[in-house]
Amino acid sequence: MKWNREDKGIPEMDRKPIRLLFDSNGGDLDAQAAICSAIELSKTPVIGVAVGLVASAASLIYLSCHVRLAFKSSYFILHKGSAALSGDYENIISSIEDYKKEINKMIEFIIEKSKYTKEEVEEHINKDWYVRAQEALEKGMVDEIVTDINVLL
């Protein structure tokens, strides 16, 4: 938000992009959703750079970036995540129903942000799904494999 406030009035094409370096085991689905929303709302371009492992929630945040770069050694892990539930029967069922909706939104998001088909995502997402940089490039998760440090400067 800070950079968008500072860049207000500057044409989007003329703004200095925000660069986010990704090397993460993932995180919380709710925090991921908030970060994705902030990136998608940003008028200042956000460039994601996968430098190592980009797993779980981090992979979804990365997919939100306006431009997506990756080191050739980077890779992604996509999956349905995990959850810990407690409470009475009705509240657990309610939580499960909500979690199913969130997983379906996540599947649609991956399809929207890549060239994977619904069938491909549904086939692989039930377990840890490893996607190496070259496949990610071919499937549209990555826009460019970094081969020149000047791309990052």
Give one word for 123, left, alpha or beta, with left for phi > 0 and alpha for psi -120 to 50. Answer: alpha
CA distance 6 to 118: 39
> Phi, psi at residue 143, to the nearest 5°?
-85, -30
Catalytic residue among 56, 59, 74, 114: 56
Pairing, β 75-78 against β 129-132: antiparallel
* Whether 66 is catalytic: no
**Angle between the 29-41 and 57-64 helix axes, to the nearest 10 degrees?**
10
* Whether 64 is catalytic: no
**Angle between the 89-112 and 57-64 helix axes, to the nearest 10 degrees?**
40
Catalytic residue among 64, 74, 79, 114: 79
* Active-site annotation, residues: 56, 79
